[in-house]
Amino acid sequence: MKDRPIIQDILFFAFAIIVVMILIFPKGIVKREERKIVGIDIKGEVNAPGYYELEYGSRVKDAIIAAGGETQKADLSTINLAMTLIDGEEISIPGRGEGAGTYSKLIDINTADMYKLCKLDGIGEALATDIIDYRAKNGKFKSIEELKKVKGIGEKKFNKIKDKISVE
């Protein structure tokens, strides 16, 4: 008869310890690692264009591989294969002879992905990301001059690219 209360006491004590541990330890300490992903839309000269989810930190080359690789018409010399992907971005793989890497036509700053923006003089990956973020927060640019509201684009930088950009 005496054994029964001791077992109940042990079970109660173990339960109490578990409850206290759950309440005391912050959730972040015992948190399983969350898998971060980026969703991208890849178009152009790839074997299977479409929407793909890739690990956070993936590169353009990883997106091309996920899309079944580049076609024989693809011109990879005009894009930065090592550039880090951004969630929600559209990647367009150009074909040979499409004028990629040149400014044969204006770049629409309302629809351009990071790679197109990086083709502009003085626009690198960080500034292209800032342009895309600004566009996401504030909506489409109403004029090319509004681009100067993006931190890092002053009058001098704007004057270098104003003849190569448009808003449609």
Task: Encode pLDDT of 72-91 as tens digits.
Answer: 999 888 788 888 887 777 88
Residue 168 tokens read as: 């449609």
Q: Report residue 2's pLDDT band, with 50, 70 and 90 as the boundaries.
A: low
Tokens 């956070």 label which residue?
56
The pLDDT tens digits for 110-162 are 888 887 888 888 888 889 989 998 988 898 899 999 999 999 999 999 998 88
The overall average pLDDT reported for the chain is 82
The neighbouring-strand residues paired with 55 are 37
> How far is C-alpha 27 from the geometric centre of its chain's CA atoms?
27
Task: Indicate the pTM of the whole model.
Answer: 0.47
**71 and 49 Cβ atoms separated by less than 8 Å:** no
- For residue 36, name the pLDDT band (cuts at 50, 70, 90): confident
Handedness of CA 17, 19, 25, 31 (dihedral sign): positive
CA dihedral 146, 150, 154, 158 (to 10 degrees): -50
Confidence of residue 3 (pLDDT cuts 50, 70, 90): low
Domain at 103-168: CATH code: 1.10.150.310
Record the tokens describing residue 117, joined without a space: 């923006």
Do 38 and 53 touch, CB atoms closer than 8 A?
yes
User: Are the C-beta atoms of residues 62 and 84 closer than 8 Å to each other?
Assistant: no
> Does an H or E element contain 9, and which?
helix 3-24
Write out the E strands in 28-93: 37-44, 50-55, 90-93
Give dist(CA 131, CA 101) in Å, integer: 19
The alpha-carbon radius of gyration of the chain (Å, integer) is 26
